[in-house]
Structure 1
């Protein structure tokens, strides 16, 4: 960053000599820094264009959403990018695409959801974000990652890996492979959803982990951030990702499956927060599939980890040989724990 710092900062009208740049946050996709100046602070990011093949689509969607919210809901805090001296939301330099946001004073984010109240606050913010944008023409938004939450695509990639993948790893993962195939009805349900007009495409965040919500000093949610994956999608993506990342006290990296559980009070908090904002938006059929959201997202992520393991870790990479196998097993166990509670949890909405 040091070699490019002057060039980057000058694009946003900042002077290197009076500016401090420090690494910020725990995100794995983009590089993020906090930029401290005598007047105010900013968040600077370099967009990972290996993941986001068309970064201009991100800038385009963000601008359209910002303009819509400014006109229809000016009271909502939307952290819009700072324009460059060329009046762009994102600028390409030698080492990638850069954009800058104002730092929201008094705000903080969280890497782990620790209480049901935090889960409730986050679910409220993600639900509110989609609800406020219910009048926007989603056909005008661009797809920033094609096929991102296409479960049918992920299942087909899994089947291909079974044919062409590492034969030794296929044998090692037989139990998980059998479990995946035995629950293929989750994919069938997804395919039905994509052809059923009762399921609406809306402005969907697609990455609803707790770190993508800003909180104030009292731990009340302020707004959602990290809008790279905002594009048209189904509500099951946002609700499902919250269930996947909030319900268990341990992350997808945990090797000890005995520590994996589904916490009922966190599930109720997600339902309460999201439903309070979206109850008038969701159709009756969508409400009936609220619980399915968790199955959908956990199953899909399990498939992605398992497929990558069979393909010699070509996508996610691995810190040790069985890393993606461990992740896949973790998510399969979480899915199993969730399905064991379906009769109870599905009644909360």
Structure 2
């Protein structure tokens, strides 16, 4: 860590691993005066580290002045001694440091309607706060991340090969996918059309990317690695896909899975109270939940 500390002008710090996420490695750096959030960026997933960090810098600076007025927080990048947004060490690994947003915590699932309402408000404020930002300035950090047709092609290829002779045992699931594929393609075409505005989108709006204060008020949305140009419908759909399920996300017993409609109502109310959407966007919020659930579980 000595090489990293020198790069970010950190003289001494206690290093504590943070067990969050599966892509980057995260650490809390505790110094006598303040604490920081250190990450080793997975450059196998994110090929353009400079572009990724430029995305975060552009968006956080744009949001900072707006959010400060409402006591909301944005991740603040700590530059290196060379005034760069990240540091590449002698082993070829990429590191970055943020100010730690103190006295906050997150949830692994939406525990009640108040948390749902607050998270919805926070997402709405994020989208609305960037409504005057030119999303064309952002690079694509993960190509084809929301490309339904690519996922369909990959799935069809796997089905055709059937390398493990499992098709017979999943015929019910295959029938379900085939039944709704055309409908989902039509929705995908809508997202790509001029009818749906192109906005700055977060693209990973699960509840553990929201930070709350001691009064359970949402104060920050974090993890900006997937900031890209896209549709607000994907962000809302992904939040609801992961948030409405009363069971764990990888639950295999369908009898244990139910949808909490009170959570949906509270999240939607919070979200819509903060963001101005077009009629086409509002009319397709429900369809977006179905679309994202279909696409992300396709392969």
Which bracket does the TM-score occupy, shorter chain normalised?
A: over 0.9
Residues 236 and 296, structure 1, Cα contact 8 Å, conserved in 2: no
For 1:234 and 1:118, the matched residues in 2 are separated by 24
Aligned partner of 2:229 in structure 1 is 232
Cα distance in 1, alignment partners of residues 144 and 229 from structure 2: 11
How many residue pairs get aligned? The number is: 296
Work out which of the residue numbers 78, 81, 86 in structure 2 matches 1:90. 86
Deviation at 1:72, TM superposition (A): 5.7
Instruction: Report the structure, 1 or 2, having the larger helix content.
Output: 1
Instruction: Please tell me whether residue 21 in structure 1 is matched to residue 1 in structure 2.
Output: no
What are the Cα deviations for residues 8-28 of structure 1, in whole angstroms up to 9, with x where unaligned?
11111112xx31101114211
Counterpart-to-counterpart distance in 1, 2:104 and 2:192: 41
Moved more, 65-74 or 223-232: 65-74
Deviates more, 1:154-163 or 1:230-239: 154-163
- TM-fit CA distance, 1:73: 5.5
1:78 pairs with 2:40: no
Aligned equivalent of 1:6: 2
2:238 and 2:151 mapped to 1: Cα distance?
16
**Mapped partners of 1:128, 1:268: distance in 2:** 18
Q: 1:156 Cα shift? A: 1.9
What TM-score does the superposition give when structure 2 sets the normalisation length? 0.94
1:242-281 superposed matches below 5 A: 242-278=239-275, 280=276
Aligned to 2:286: 291
Partner of 2:220: 223
**Unmatched runs of 5 consecutive residues or more in structure 1:** 305-349
Structure 1 length normalisation: TM-score? 0.81
> Could you say which residue in structure 2 is the equivalent of 1:138?
135
Give the whole-Å Cα distance in 2 for the aligned partners of 1:102 and 1:163. Answer: 49
Question: Is the Cα–Cα contact under 8 Å of residues 48 and 141 in structure 2 kept in the other structure?
Answer: yes
Label 1:73 to 1:36 Cα distance change in 2 as closer, same or farther (>3 A): closer
Tell me, in whole angstroms, the C-alpha distance in 2 between the residues paired with 1:211 and 1:90. Answer: 24
The corresponding residue for 1:180 is 177
CA contact (8 A) 2:148 2:185 kept: no
Partner Cα distance (2:187, 2:154) in 1: 16
Question: How far is 1:68 from its partner?
Answer: 2.2
Moved more, 295-304 or 153-162: 153-162
Tell me how far 1:37 sits from its aligned partner. Answer: 0.4
Report 1:134-213 matches (<5 A).
134-213=131-210
**RCO comparison, higher one (Cα < 8 Å, 6+):** 2
CA distance in 2, matches of 1:141, 1:124: 24
Q: Which residue of 1 aligns with 2:49?
A: 55
Residue number in structure 1 paired with 2:35: 41
CA RMSD of the aligned region, Å?
1.6
* Runs of 5+ consecutive residues of structure 2 not aligned to the other structure: none
Moved more, 156-165 or 52-61: 156-165
